[in-house]
A and B are shown apart, each in its own frame.
Chain A
Amino acid sequence: MASRPEVLRLNQSSDIRRGLTGMLGFGSSIIATLLSLGALFSILAYLVVHGIGAINWAFFVREPAAVGEAGGGIAPSLVGTAILVTLASIIGFPFGIGVGIYLSEFAKENLFARFTRVAINTFIGVPSIIAGIFVYFILVKPTNTFSAVAGGLALGIIMIPIMARTTEDVLRMVPDSIREAALALGAPKWRVTMGIVLPAARAGVITGGILAVARVAGETAPLILTALGNEYFPSGLFHPIDEITLRILKYARGPYDVWHEQAYGAALILVVGVALGSLLLRLTTRRGMVRNE
């Protein structure tokens, strides 16, 4: 009997300790979540509050004003972004989708396939500036000029592994029974792949493409080494060209309040564009997955 109260007391104190630990844990995880959400909202709020004033019709259609003066726009950057992304897609899509098809439809469990898969997944994480260095040496230095083609090539190389992995992932979601049914009907492999599997995964491939485009449109570092930037509308594919991220970089670093406001404005446009892309991705993948099931 003598030991009984002692046990009870022990239980009580450990109960309090356990309760406190729980409250501490729950409390800190709620604080962490509020911090994460707070970071998102404060960035968005700053972009909207400081950037909305810069956005008007002229901002979309005019060239930049003289240094430090109000007015002007970022039209050359928008045109440049479109050109660079198009060039990147010309390189990134065929190579990326081709490799994705290989990994999903052809790769057997041999050394070459495994090596390819590891290489693709490794290069997704290589800093994009490395692609910029590569293109600087193979294109910018030999042609003696920074250019749209160089920028597009650098972005295209960055796009390849991203596109390859999403293509492989969405093709793998197509059930094998569909492939087997087509093969049983006598369809050759290329018909099965191009006529059955790829169309079945179409929604996923398209949204993967949008994701890849959004990703490279936000790249800055490799473009410093390849596209350089330009105050005027692009005069040709072998001339320096502007990108919206290069414009933001330049204006953010400048000493003028007008530039800062326009940097916020350009960032707002970029973020809204990318967010729309991600929303589209979310909606279509949800639909696409339902269709595959």
Chain B
Amino acid sequence: MGLFSSASVDRGFRAIILGFVVGVLAIFGALLLVLINGAWPAMKQFGLGFIVHTGWDPVHLAFGALPFIVGTLVVATCAMLVAGTIGLLTAVCITELLPHWLQDPVAYLIELLAFIPSVVYGLFGLLVIAPFLQTTVQPWMMDNLGTRFPAFNGAPYGVGYLCAIVILAIMLIPLIVALSREALLLVPTSQKEGALALGSKRWEVIWHVTVPYARSGIIGALIVALGRALGETIAVAMTIGGGFHLPKTFMDQGYTLASVIANEFNEVSSNTYLSALIYCGLILFVITVIVNILAYYSVRRMAGARGFKA
């Protein structure tokens, strides 16, 4: 027996499994350290002021990430407003309105959108949405909205904030539909029947009973989508145009934290520039980790109600 007794094999197995876990945690830890180390020269030079300063000048080595932070927030918020509205209404339509035999196929079709890789969305945005915006939507916006709201004025390039927002919204819809549908399906029929018995109309049941009951799950779905919106890289990089100034209108071109890294990384001309980009990455990392921890706890609360679903 000795070395090969089942107890020692068991200990060995346990050690191997724990080894994988420790290895993975070590990779995560190393990732954080490498990120901080790469950003360190810029952190030392610009300090926390990096976050609140504008100006991105590779020649004079003066960098501030405020335009990208604002860009990230603007693009993510606007895309979330569009995708949140459309996605929630779609989830309600699928679970509450459509006949049973149609629910799964429609949900599957919309979830198919989630399997399309980012770069394909970027391609679609760059070659289809941007020209459409440039020739049709943006001239209309300038004529009808731009005179009263400066945010809708500007030069119609096609690519820019508006294009990135549209593409990102399309990408977020399937995620929001899938997760909020899960939450809506958890609402007990007895709750809806109770409301109907009290004389509610069908829409009132949805609005006053079903949606409030699924509230925590829906919020979780929105937080997951927000994490995705903040971090989306290549589709935004292909459609936002590129620019280092604070956005003034929806037609401006700019960058988000993620897309500035993707587009500028292979253009870096100095170590300070590289370090400033990594600093952007570090800020992005911190933001997304916080959002994802929030998402984990809010979605787990929902999943706990009936166990995990693969």
Contacts of B123 in A (CB 8 A): 248, 252, 263-264, 267
B20 A278 Cβ-Cβ under 8 A: no
Q: When the two chains form their complex, are residues B35 and A248 in contact, meaning their CB atoms are under 8 A apart?
A: no
> What chain A residues lie within 8 Å of B173 (beta carbons)?
36, 39
Could you tell me the distance in whole angstroms from the C-beta of A122 to the nearest C-beta in chain B?
A: 5
B202 interface residue (CB < 8 Å to A): yes
Complex partner residue of B258 from A39, A119, A129, CB under 8 angstroms = A129
B124-A122 in contact (CB<8A): no
A48 within 8 A of B: no
A170-222 CB contacts (< 8 Å) to partner B: 170, 172-173, 188-190, 193-194, 204, 208, 214, 217-221
- Interchain Cβ contacts under 8 Å between A and B, 30 examples: A26-B203, A30-B97, A33-B94, A35-B90, A36-B86, A36-B113, A37-B110, A43-B116, A43-B121, A98-B24, A99-B21, A105-B17, A127-B288, A129-B231, A130-B35, A133-B38, A157-B27, A170-B310, A190-B13, A194-B13, A214-B115, A218-B119, A219-B117, A245-B234, A249-B119, A252-B122, A252-B238, A263-B127, A271-B117, A275-B112
Question: How many of B's residues come within 8 Å of A, CB to CB?
Answer: 93
Question: Which of B4-12, B42-50, B62-70, B141-149 binds A?
Answer: B4-12
Nearest-CB residue, chain A, relative to B223: A125
Min Cβ gap B50→A in Å is 17
Asked if B201 is an interface residue, CB under 8 A from chain A, the answer is yes
Q: Which residues of A contact B140 (CB under 8 A)?
A: none
Binding site for B on A (CB under 8 A): 18-19, 21-22, 25-26, 28-33, 35-37, 39-40, 42-43, 46-47, 94-95, 98-99, 101-102, 105-106, 116, 118-131, 133-134, 137-138, 157, 160, 164, 166, 169-170, 172-173, 188-190, 193-194, 204, 208, 214, 217-221, 224-225, 228, 245, 248-249, 252-253, 260, 263-264, 267, 270-271, 274-275, 277-278, 282, 285, 289
B240-291, CB < 8 A from A: 258, 261-262, 265-266, 278, 281, 284-285, 288-289, 291
Question: Would you call A43 and B120 a contact (CB within 8 A)?
Answer: yes
CB atoms of B34 and A133 under 8 A apart: yes
Are B126 and A274 in touch, CB under 8 angstroms? Answer: no
- The distance in angstroms between the C-alpha atoms of A252 and B239, with both chains bound, is 11
Question: A95 and B117: CB pair below 8 A?
Answer: no
* Residues on B with beta carbons closer than 8 Å to the beta carbon of A47: 120
The smallest C-beta distance from A11 to any residue of chain B, in angstroms, reads 11
Contact of A138 among B34, B85, B265, B296 (CB under 8 A): B34
Q: How far is the CA of A102 from the CA of B20 in the complex (A)?
A: 9
B61 at the interface (CB under 8 A from A): no
> Which residues of chain B are near A116, meaning CB under 8 Å?
21, 25
Of all chain A residues, which has the CB nearest B284? A127
Q: Is the CB of B120 within 8 A of A248?
A: yes
Q: Is the CB of B112 within 8 A of A122?
A: no
Instruction: Say whether B93 contacts A33, CB under 8 Å.
Output: yes
B17 touches A106 (CB 8 A): yes
> Known contacts A22-B203, A274-B115: does B284 contact A130 (CB below 8 Å)?
yes
Q: Tell me, in angstroms, the Cα distance from A124 to B38 when the chains sit together.
A: 22
